[in-house]
A and B are shown apart, each in its own frame.
Chain A
Protein backbone atom coordinates (compact mmCIF):
# COMPACT_ATOMS: atom_id res chain seq x y z
CA UNK A 1 0.00 0.00 0.00
CA UNK A 2 1.28 3.46 -0.82
CA UNK A 3 0.82 6.27 1.63
CA UNK A 4 -1.07 9.37 0.62
CA UNK A 5 2.09 11.41 1.19
CA UNK A 6 3.85 9.33 -1.46
CA UNK A 7 1.18 10.16 -3.97
CA UNK A 8 0.72 13.86 -3.24
CA UNK A 9 4.15 14.85 -4.48
CA UNK A 10 4.54 17.70 -6.96
CA UNK A 11 5.64 15.32 -9.72
CA UNK A 12 2.34 13.46 -9.45
CA UNK A 13 0.12 16.54 -9.69
CA UNK A 14 -2.40 16.08 -12.50
CA UNK A 15 -5.01 18.70 -11.70
CA UNK A 16 -4.82 21.97 -9.80
CA UNK A 17 -6.37 25.40 -9.64
CA UNK A 18 -5.25 27.44 -12.62
CA UNK A 19 -2.97 30.34 -11.66
CA UNK A 20 -5.27 32.54 -13.75
CA UNK A 21 -7.70 32.38 -10.83
CA UNK A 22 -6.88 34.73 -7.98
CA UNK A 23 -6.82 33.59 -4.35
CA UNK A 24 -10.05 35.45 -3.59
CA UNK A 25 -12.79 33.17 -2.33
CA UNK A 26 -15.66 33.39 -4.80
CA UNK A 27 -18.81 34.96 -3.41
CA UNK A 28 -20.99 32.48 -5.27
CA UNK A 29 -23.28 30.08 -3.43
CA UNK A 30 -22.00 26.53 -2.92
CA UNK A 31 -22.33 24.55 -6.13
CA UNK A 32 -22.83 27.55 -8.41
CA UNK A 33 -22.00 26.95 -12.07
CA UNK A 34 -20.27 30.34 -12.30
CA UNK A 35 -17.31 28.96 -10.39
CA UNK A 36 -16.80 26.14 -12.87
CA UNK A 37 -17.07 28.41 -15.89
CA UNK A 38 -14.74 31.04 -14.38
CA UNK A 39 -12.22 28.27 -13.95
CA UNK A 40 -12.65 27.07 -17.53
CA UNK A 41 -12.14 30.56 -18.93
CA UNK A 42 -9.03 30.86 -16.76
CA UNK A 43 -7.69 27.49 -17.90
CA UNK A 44 -8.24 28.37 -21.55
CA UNK A 45 -6.47 31.72 -21.15
CA UNK A 46 -3.64 29.90 -19.39
CA UNK A 47 -3.34 27.22 -22.06
CA UNK A 48 -3.46 29.70 -24.94
CA UNK A 49 -0.92 31.82 -23.03
CA UNK A 50 -2.88 35.02 -23.60
CA UNK A 51 -3.12 36.46 -20.10
CA UNK A 52 -1.44 39.66 -21.30
CA UNK A 53 -3.85 40.00 -24.23
CA UNK A 54 -7.17 39.05 -22.66
CA UNK A 55 -9.70 41.70 -21.59
CA UNK A 56 -12.93 40.62 -19.93
CA UNK A 57 -16.19 42.51 -19.61
CA UNK A 58 -18.28 41.59 -16.58
CA UNK A 59 -22.04 42.12 -16.47
CA UNK A 60 -24.56 43.14 -13.87
CA UNK A 61 -25.81 40.11 -12.02
CA UNK A 62 -24.14 37.50 -9.84
CA UNK A 63 -21.00 37.55 -11.97
CA UNK A 64 -20.56 41.32 -11.72
CA UNK A 65 -17.52 40.66 -9.54
CA UNK A 66 -15.91 38.23 -11.99
CA UNK A 67 -13.02 40.70 -12.08
CA UNK A 68 -12.12 39.68 -8.54
CA UNK A 69 -11.47 36.11 -9.62
CA UNK A 70 -9.74 36.06 -13.00
CA UNK A 71 -6.32 37.67 -13.04
CA UNK A 72 -6.65 39.69 -16.24
CA UNK A 73 -7.71 43.22 -17.17
CA UNK A 74 -11.46 43.79 -16.79
CA UNK A 75 -14.15 46.37 -17.45
CA UNK A 76 -17.42 46.18 -15.57
CA UNK A 77 -20.39 47.06 -17.80
CA UNK A 78 -23.84 48.51 -17.19
CA UNK A 79 -26.69 45.98 -17.13
CA UNK A 80 -26.90 44.28 -20.52
CA UNK A 81 -24.37 46.56 -22.21
CA UNK A 82 -21.35 44.25 -22.05
CA UNK A 83 -21.42 43.53 -25.83
CA UNK A 84 -21.34 47.29 -26.55
CA UNK A 85 -18.51 47.79 -24.06
CA UNK A 86 -16.65 44.85 -25.61
CA UNK A 87 -17.23 46.38 -29.05
CA UNK A 88 -15.56 49.60 -27.90
CA UNK A 89 -12.59 47.70 -26.45
CA UNK A 90 -12.22 45.34 -29.39
CA UNK A 91 -12.47 48.10 -32.02
CA UNK A 92 -9.74 50.08 -30.28
CA UNK A 93 -7.68 46.98 -29.43
CA UNK A 94 -8.33 44.72 -32.44
CA UNK A 95 -5.39 42.49 -31.54
CA UNK A 96 -6.68 41.61 -28.05
CA UNK A 97 -8.85 38.73 -26.90
CA UNK A 98 -11.99 40.49 -25.71
CA UNK A 99 -14.81 38.55 -24.11
CA UNK A 100 -18.03 39.24 -22.26
CA UNK A 101 -19.35 37.10 -19.45
CA UNK A 102 -23.11 37.50 -19.02
CA UNK A 103 -26.08 35.88 -17.37
CA UNK A 104 -29.54 35.31 -18.83
CA UNK A 105 -31.16 38.42 -17.36
CA UNK A 106 -28.28 40.60 -18.50
CA UNK A 107 -27.90 39.15 -22.00
CA UNK A 108 -31.36 37.93 -23.01
CA UNK A 109 -33.54 40.54 -21.32
CA UNK A 110 -32.16 44.02 -20.78
CA UNK A 111 -29.22 43.50 -23.12
CA UNK A 112 -31.10 41.87 -25.96
CA UNK A 113 -30.43 44.73 -28.39
CA UNK A 114 -26.73 44.95 -27.58
CA UNK A 115 -26.05 41.22 -28.00
CA UNK A 116 -28.11 41.05 -31.21
CA UNK A 117 -26.22 43.88 -32.85
CA UNK A 118 -22.78 42.89 -31.62
CA UNK A 119 -23.42 39.44 -33.12
CA UNK A 120 -24.90 40.99 -36.25
CA UNK A 121 -21.83 43.15 -36.76
CA UNK A 122 -19.70 40.09 -36.15
CA UNK A 123 -17.62 41.79 -33.49
CA UNK A 124 -14.44 39.77 -33.05
CA UNK A 125 -15.25 38.83 -29.47
CA UNK A 126 -16.21 35.83 -27.35
CA UNK A 127 -19.48 35.79 -25.44
CA UNK A 128 -19.85 33.46 -22.47
CA UNK A 129 -23.54 33.20 -21.65
CA UNK A 130 -24.63 31.53 -18.41
CA UNK A 131 -28.25 30.43 -18.62
CA UNK A 132 -29.71 29.32 -15.30
CA UNK A 133 -33.25 30.45 -16.08
CA UNK A 134 -33.46 32.90 -13.21
CA UNK A 135 -32.21 36.22 -11.84
CA UNK A 136 -29.81 35.12 -9.12
CA UNK A 137 -28.41 38.37 -7.77
CA UNK A 138 -31.72 40.12 -7.18
CA UNK A 139 -33.23 37.13 -5.42
CA UNK A 140 -34.62 34.64 -7.89
CA UNK A 141 -37.01 36.48 -10.21
CA UNK A 142 -38.21 35.31 -13.63
CA UNK A 143 -35.71 35.55 -16.48
CA UNK A 144 -36.45 35.41 -20.23
CA UNK A 145 -35.20 31.82 -20.14
CA UNK A 146 -37.36 30.72 -17.17
CA UNK A 147 -39.23 27.55 -18.11
CA UNK A 148 -43.01 27.33 -18.36
CA UNK A 149 -44.39 26.42 -14.98
CA UNK A 150 -41.13 27.28 -13.23
CA UNK A 151 -41.64 28.93 -9.86
CA UNK A 152 -39.64 32.11 -9.24
CA UNK A 153 -40.04 35.11 -6.95
CA UNK A 154 -42.07 36.91 -9.64
CA UNK A 155 -43.84 33.81 -10.96
CA UNK A 156 -44.89 32.38 -7.59
CA UNK A 157 -47.54 30.21 -9.27
CA UNK A 158 -45.21 29.12 -12.04
CA UNK A 159 -44.47 30.83 -15.36
CA UNK A 160 -47.72 31.16 -17.24
CA UNK A 161 -47.33 31.99 -20.95
CA UNK A 162 -50.55 34.04 -20.93
CA UNK A 163 -49.17 36.24 -18.19
CA UNK A 164 -45.41 35.99 -18.66
CA UNK A 165 -44.78 34.94 -22.24
CA UNK A 166 -42.59 32.07 -23.34
CA UNK A 167 -39.01 31.02 -22.56
CA UNK A 168 -36.58 32.57 -25.03
CA UNK A 169 -34.05 30.52 -26.96
CA UNK A 170 -31.75 33.46 -27.57
CA UNK A 171 -28.85 31.26 -28.65
CA UNK A 172 -30.81 29.83 -31.58
CA UNK A 173 -31.79 33.38 -32.54
CA UNK A 174 -28.19 34.56 -32.51
CA UNK A 175 -27.12 31.62 -34.65
CA UNK A 176 -29.29 33.11 -37.42
CA UNK A 177 -27.10 36.20 -37.58
CA UNK A 178 -24.38 36.31 -40.21
CA UNK A 179 -21.83 37.80 -37.82
CA UNK A 180 -21.64 34.75 -35.57
CA UNK A 181 -19.09 32.11 -36.52
CA UNK A 182 -19.55 29.69 -33.66
CA UNK A 183 -22.66 29.20 -31.56
CA UNK A 184 -22.83 26.36 -29.09
CA UNK A 185 -24.71 25.28 -25.99
CA UNK A 186 -22.91 23.33 -23.29
CA UNK A 187 -23.31 22.44 -19.63
CA UNK A 188 -20.88 21.94 -16.75
CA UNK A 189 -22.61 19.38 -14.57
CA UNK A 190 -20.45 16.30 -15.14
CA UNK A 191 -16.73 15.80 -15.73
CA UNK A 192 -17.46 15.00 -19.36
CA UNK A 193 -19.63 18.08 -19.79
CA UNK A 194 -16.96 20.24 -18.18
CA UNK A 195 -14.36 18.93 -20.64
CA UNK A 196 -16.67 19.66 -23.58
CA UNK A 197 -17.51 23.12 -22.29
CA UNK A 198 -13.82 23.89 -21.96
CA UNK A 199 -13.15 22.76 -25.51
CA UNK A 200 -15.97 25.03 -26.69
CA UNK A 201 -14.55 28.03 -24.82
CA UNK A 202 -11.10 27.28 -26.19
CA UNK A 203 -12.41 27.11 -29.72
CA UNK A 204 -14.18 30.43 -29.20
CA UNK A 205 -10.96 32.16 -28.14
CA UNK A 206 -9.10 30.55 -31.02
CA UNK A 207 -11.72 32.00 -33.36
CA UNK A 208 -10.82 35.45 -32.03
CA UNK A 209 -7.22 34.78 -32.98
CA UNK A 210 -8.42 33.85 -36.48
CA UNK A 211 -10.63 36.97 -36.57
CA UNK A 212 -13.66 34.91 -37.52
CA UNK A 213 -16.33 37.04 -35.84
CA UNK A 214 -18.48 36.50 -32.79
CA UNK A 215 -18.21 33.21 -30.92
CA UNK A 216 -21.09 32.53 -28.58
CA UNK A 217 -20.90 29.87 -25.88
CA UNK A 218 -24.01 29.26 -23.80
CA UNK A 219 -23.55 27.24 -20.65
CA UNK A 220 -26.77 25.89 -19.19
CA UNK A 221 -26.18 26.07 -15.48
CA UNK A 222 -27.84 25.84 -12.13
CA UNK A 223 -28.88 28.39 -9.56
CA UNK A 224 -29.53 26.10 -6.65
CA UNK A 225 -30.28 28.98 -4.27
CA UNK A 226 -32.78 30.51 -6.68
CA UNK A 227 -34.23 27.14 -7.54
CA UNK A 228 -34.29 26.27 -3.84
CA UNK A 229 -32.58 22.89 -4.22
CA UNK A 230 -29.33 21.30 -3.15
CA UNK A 231 -26.54 21.61 -5.74
CA UNK A 232 -26.80 17.92 -6.56
CA UNK A 233 -30.60 18.03 -6.93
CA UNK A 234 -30.28 21.18 -9.04
CA UNK A 235 -28.09 19.32 -11.53
CA UNK A 236 -30.68 16.55 -11.75
CA UNK A 237 -33.49 19.07 -12.21
CA UNK A 238 -31.47 20.83 -14.90
CA UNK A 239 -30.93 17.63 -16.84
CA UNK A 240 -34.60 16.69 -16.60
CA UNK A 241 -36.14 20.10 -17.28
CA UNK A 242 -33.63 22.49 -18.85
CA UNK A 243 -31.95 20.18 -21.37
CA UNK A 244 -35.19 19.27 -23.21
CA UNK A 245 -35.88 22.98 -23.78
CA UNK A 246 -32.24 23.98 -24.22
CA UNK A 247 -30.61 21.00 -25.96
CA UNK A 248 -26.83 20.79 -25.77
CA UNK A 249 -24.47 20.84 -28.73
CA UNK A 250 -23.10 23.03 -31.49
CA UNK A 251 -25.74 25.09 -33.29
CA UNK A 252 -23.37 26.75 -35.74
CA UNK A 253 -19.71 26.25 -36.52
CA UNK A 254 -18.24 27.84 -39.63
Chain B
Protein backbone atom coordinates (compact mmCIF):
# COMPACT_ATOMS: atom_id res chain seq x y z
CA UNK B 1 0.00 0.00 0.00
CA UNK B 2 1.31 3.43 -0.96
CA UNK B 3 2.09 5.76 1.89
CA UNK B 4 3.00 9.41 1.65
CA UNK B 5 5.97 11.16 3.15
CA UNK B 6 5.97 14.89 3.28
CA UNK B 7 8.23 17.78 4.16
CA UNK B 8 7.96 21.51 4.28
CA UNK B 9 10.44 24.25 3.59
CA UNK B 10 9.85 27.50 5.45
CA UNK B 11 11.26 30.81 4.26
CA UNK B 12 12.56 31.55 7.75
CA UNK B 13 13.32 35.21 7.18
CA UNK B 14 9.83 35.95 5.83
CA UNK B 15 7.94 33.94 8.46
CA UNK B 16 6.22 36.13 11.06
CA UNK B 17 5.67 33.33 13.55
CA UNK B 18 1.89 33.73 13.72
CA UNK B 19 1.51 30.05 14.57
CA UNK B 20 -1.52 29.40 12.36
CA UNK B 21 0.34 26.57 10.63
CA UNK B 22 1.05 24.96 13.99
CA UNK B 23 -2.65 24.50 14.76
CA UNK B 24 -3.52 23.64 11.16
CA UNK B 25 -1.09 20.70 11.02
CA UNK B 26 -3.07 17.48 11.55
CA UNK B 27 0.00 15.45 12.57
CA UNK B 28 1.59 18.04 14.86
CA UNK B 29 4.74 18.32 12.80
CA UNK B 30 5.20 22.07 13.08
CA UNK B 31 6.20 24.21 16.00
CA UNK B 32 7.64 27.66 16.37
CA UNK B 33 11.41 27.57 16.61
CA UNK B 34 12.96 28.69 19.91
CA UNK B 35 15.37 30.74 17.79
CA UNK B 36 14.29 33.95 16.09
CA UNK B 37 14.83 35.28 12.58
CA UNK B 38 16.27 38.66 11.61
CA UNK B 39 12.97 40.39 12.43
CA UNK B 40 12.78 38.73 15.84
CA UNK B 41 10.03 36.27 15.00
CA UNK B 42 10.02 32.66 16.18
CA UNK B 43 9.69 31.07 12.75
CA UNK B 44 7.86 27.85 11.97
CA UNK B 45 9.87 24.64 11.58
CA UNK B 46 9.37 20.92 11.38
CA UNK B 47 9.83 19.79 14.95
CA UNK B 48 8.68 16.27 14.07
CA UNK B 49 9.55 15.85 10.37
CA UNK B 50 8.92 12.11 10.35
CA UNK B 51 5.19 12.68 10.84
CA UNK B 52 4.71 15.03 7.88
CA UNK B 53 2.31 13.65 5.28
CA UNK B 54 2.59 16.56 2.83
CA UNK B 55 -1.07 17.53 3.17
CA UNK B 56 -0.29 21.25 2.67
CA UNK B 57 -2.69 22.38 5.39
CA UNK B 58 0.06 24.59 6.78
CA UNK B 59 0.68 26.18 3.39
CA UNK B 60 -3.02 26.82 2.82
CA UNK B 61 -3.50 28.81 6.04
CA UNK B 62 -0.15 30.63 5.92
CA UNK B 63 -0.87 34.37 5.45
CA UNK B 64 2.62 35.11 4.21
CA UNK B 65 3.01 32.27 1.72
CA UNK B 66 6.32 31.25 3.23
CA UNK B 67 5.72 27.50 3.26
CA UNK B 68 6.50 25.18 0.36
CA UNK B 69 5.16 21.66 0.71
CA UNK B 70 6.63 18.49 -0.78
CA UNK B 71 5.09 15.05 -0.94
CA UNK B 72 6.36 11.71 -2.22
CA UNK B 73 4.90 8.26 -2.14
CA UNK B 74 6.83 5.51 -0.43
CA UNK B 75 6.14 1.76 -0.46
CA UNK B 76 5.29 0.36 2.91
Contacts and interface: CB of A to CB of B under 8 A. Distances in A.
Interface in B30-66: 41, 46, 49-50, 54-57, 59-66
A33 B63 contact: yes
Interface in A20-39: 21, 25-26, 28-36, 39
Interface of chain B, helix or strand or loop or mixed? mixed
A8 B60 contact: no
Instruction: Categorize the interface residue count of chain B.
Output: 35 or more
B65 A14 contact: no
Pairs A-B, 10 closest by C-beta atoms: A35-B63, A31-B18, A30-B16, A30-B18, A15-B69, A17-B65, A15-B56, A191-B57, A7-B7, A15-B59
Given A190-B24, A232-B23, A34 B68 contact: no
Contacts, number: 100
Contacts of A210: none
Interface residues of A, number: 37
Nearest to B70: A12
Interface in A132-165: none
Contact of B61 (A12, A29, A194): A194
A25 B72 contact: no
